[in-house]
Amino acid sequence: YNEDEYLRTEIVPGAFAQYTFISPDKFSMIAGIRSDFHSIHGLFFTPRLHLKYSVNHHLTIRASAGKGYRTAAVFAENMALFASSRMLIIEEELLAEEAWNYGININGDIHYFEKKEFKWSLDFYRTDFVNQVITDINADVNEIRFYNLRGNSYSNSFQAEISTEAFKRFDISAAFRIN
């Protein structure tokens, strides 16, 4: 590969607009859109939406959704692989990574004894990739290949957490996460 071919300077001017709606005590919504002009990849539109509903003083539900873009820096992100003496192969022009992200969070508190409480939360988030830059080290033992996503790719993340203040300035937390 020609090293100079992959040197780049990115310029990304953009504009952002946001609308916030808040109803007393129960519901809020933030809707936004961003427009960017990327000097290499062109025009991007990035919408987002955040919702919050307070069921009562002890239970809140949040949801969010939006789109995201990112330019992969394959050399900087894979430095450890370069010590392997494998040949680097960039199979095609690498496009910007693009994904839809959405999720939900539910949190609350449970009171015990007189002034003690457990705080708990459940989170589930998903990313559906429209394009992803793949670093393939398994196709050939002598090569590291970079190419754009072929097919479907997604990521799920779930977390459950609980915490309490056992005594003054001493918190105990426990969490479970699966990705």
DSSP structure string for 83-131 = GG-PEEEE-SPPPPEEEEEEEEEEEEEEEETTTEEEEEEEEEEEEEEEE
Taking alpha carbons only, the member of 104, 127, 120 closest to residue 160 is 120
Q: What is the pLDDT of residue 79?
A: 87
Residue, of 177 and 7, whose pLDDT is higher? 177
- The mean pLDDT of the chain is 91
Can you tell me the distance from the alpha carbon of 149 to that of 130, in angstroms, rounded to the nearest whole number?
8
Residue 3 pLDDT > 70, yes or no?
Answer: no
Query: What residues form DSSP beta bridges with 174?
Result: 162
Beta strand 87-90 pairing with 143-148: parallel
- How much is the pTM? 0.81
Neighbours of 99 (CB within 10 A): 19
Model confidence pLDDT, tens digit, residues 84-128: 888 888 899 899 999 999 999 999 998 877 777 889 999 999 999
Token readout for 57 is 């003083």
Question: Average pLDDT, stretch 53-72?
Answer: 94
Is residue 113 within 8 Å of 146, Cβ to Cβ?
Answer: no
Token readout for 141 is 């033992």
pLDDT band at 144 (very low <50, low <70, confident <90, very high): very high
Question: Average pLDDT, stretch 37-51?
Answer: 93
Beta strand 14-22 pairing with 42-56: unpaired
Q: What is the pLDDT of residue 120?
A: 95
pLDDT band at 153 (very low <50, low <70, confident <90, very high): very high
Q: Tell me which H or E stretch contains 15.
A: strand 14-22
Residue 1 pLDDT > 60, yes or no?
Answer: no
Q: Tell me which H or E stretch contains 156.
A: strand 153-167
Tell me the C-alpha to C-alpha distance, in Å, between residue 57 and each of 61, 62, 100: 12, 14, 32
Residue 165 pLDDT > 70, yes or no?
Answer: yes
Residue 55 pLDDT > 70, yes or no?
Answer: yes
Question: Average pLDDT, stretch 47-66?
Answer: 95
Query: What residues form DSSP beta bridges with 139?
Result: none
pLDDT band at 2 (very low <50, low <70, confident <90, very high): low
